[in-house]
Amino acid sequence: MLKNIQQFEKKYSNHIIAITIIIWIILIFTPAKYLGENYYIRNKILLDIFPIIGVIITSLSILGKNLKLLLLGISLIFSFYITMLIGYIIIGG
Report pLDDT for 31: 77
Nearest Cα neighbor of 74 from 63, 84, 62, 86 is 62
Instruction: Return the number of other C-beta atoms located less than 10 Å from residue 40's C-beta.
Output: 10
Average pLDDT over residues 14-23: 86
Note the pLDDT tens digit of each residue in 40-56. 777 888 888 889 988 98
Report pLDDT for 93: 59
Q: What is the pTM of this model?
A: 0.75
Q: How many domains is the chain built from?
A: 1
Note the pLDDT tens digit of each residue in 26-41. 887 877 777 777 777 7
pLDDT at residue 2 tops 80: no
Residue 12 sits in which domain range? 2-91
